[in-house]
Amino acid sequence: MPGAAAPGGPIAAPATLRRPATEAISHGLNTVPAPVLVLGGVLGLQGGAALTTGLYPLVGPAGVVALRLVLAAVLLVALWRPGWRWDSRTWSLALGAGTLIAVHHLSYYEAVARVPLGAATTMEFIGPFALALAGSRRPADLLWAALAATGVVLLSRSGVPMNGAGLLFGLLAGGCWGGYILVGKRLAAHLPDGRGLALAVSWGALLSLPYGILQAGTRLLDPGTLAIAFAVAVLSSVLPYSFQMAALRRLPPGVFGVLTSLEPAVGALIGLSFLGQHLAPQQWTGVAAVALASVGTVGRGTRAA
């Protein structure tokens, strides 16, 4: 019967929704090496983060999250047209991933508003770092993860007193990021294209929108703000999440987690190049340590494959 699903599987989308464009996108992402996709996602996330510096004074952290996720959801739904006829497993994975996305974004931006960016990123990395340790099978895995963690700590050394609430928000973001890697991998395996991602981001947008409205109100509709937010949504959500879903289908969660530790290093370079944020020598040492750990992880993963 057309549109029916096997027991326990997702309900198939109508044939009219299987467009050549989306099939080409899925095929193209699957042909790119998974570590390259992770790096592309990192570049997009940090590039978008640099753009958000102009939005904080206008709409606040919750407003940034709401605009970013709502615009990303609109773009992803328009592209993938996921529909609503899915089984309970698909919905549970999509809603779980979307909830983790929303809570991660809200807590991370609240952390950045209270503590230096490096410290917030350090706390955020605890989630992927814990996955790397939990999933390790060889001593080399622990060494690469420890080296990456050391690099992130060095990057966060700014000498600025830490705000306790900011550190707790960062820790919450780290837990959500680790949980998203696990749930996102299952969602990516369950749906071999971007429909699951569109559902997840849409749910995350619905959860974050009330907080954004409470904090920013009608300022969310300012044309200039929307223009910047659109660029942030593409760079920080649509492209990175699409890349990550494709990479998660092929990478163990621990390896994926360590590879994302490139974010502080890439963020430091983008901050230096575009925002004039200079680093101390010990922080550049952290950049080198994180980069080396990621290269080592890629090499190990390639040999295993």
pLDDT of residue 256: 81
Is the residue at 11 inside a domain? Answer: no
SS (H, E, C) 69-136: HHHHHHHHHHHHCCCCCCCHHHHHHHHHHHHHHHHHHHHHHHHHCCCCHHHHHHHHCHHHHHHHHHCC
In the block, which residue shows the tokens 């993860």?
A: 145
Give me the residues of the chain with pLDDT under 70, please. Answer: 1-21, 116-119, 132-133, 135-137, 155-162, 254, 261, 264-265, 267-268, 271-279, 283, 291, 294-305
Is the residue at 301 inside a domain? Answer: no
Question: Could you give the angle at which helices 195-216 and 164-190 cross, rounded to 10 degrees?
Answer: 150
pLDDT of residue 5: 45
**Count of structural domains, the chain:** 1
> What pLDDT digit, counting tens, does each position of 89-126 carry?
999 999 999 999 999 999 988 887 787 666 677 777 77
Is the residue at 10 inside a domain? Answer: no
Cβ proximity of 121 and 267 under 8 Å: yes
> What pLDDT digit, counting tens, does each position of 187-203 carry?
988 987 889 999 999 99
Is the residue at 133 inside a domain? Answer: yes
In b/e form, how buried is each residue of 229-251, taking b as 16+ CB within 10 angstroms? bbebbbbbbbbbbbbbbbbbbbb
Is the residue at 226 inside a domain? Answer: yes
Is the residue at 304 inside a domain? Answer: no
Cβ proximity of 207 and 200 under 8 Å: no
Domain that residue 106 falls in? 34-139+161-251
Tokens of 63: 């407003």
Is the residue at 198 inside a domain? Answer: yes
Is the residue at 7 inside a domain? Answer: no
DSSP H stretches of helix in the chain = 20-31, 34-52, 56-80, 88-112, 117-124, 126-134, 139-156, 164-190, 195-216, 223-233, 239-248, 253-259, 262-274, 281-304
| Count of CB atoms situated within 10 Å of the CB of 290 | 27
pTM of the complete model:
0.78
Give the DSSP H/E element, type plus range, for residue 53.
none
Residue 272 CA: distances (Å) to CA of 39, 189, 269: 19, 38, 5
d(CA 262, CA 64): 23
pLDDT of residue 118: 65
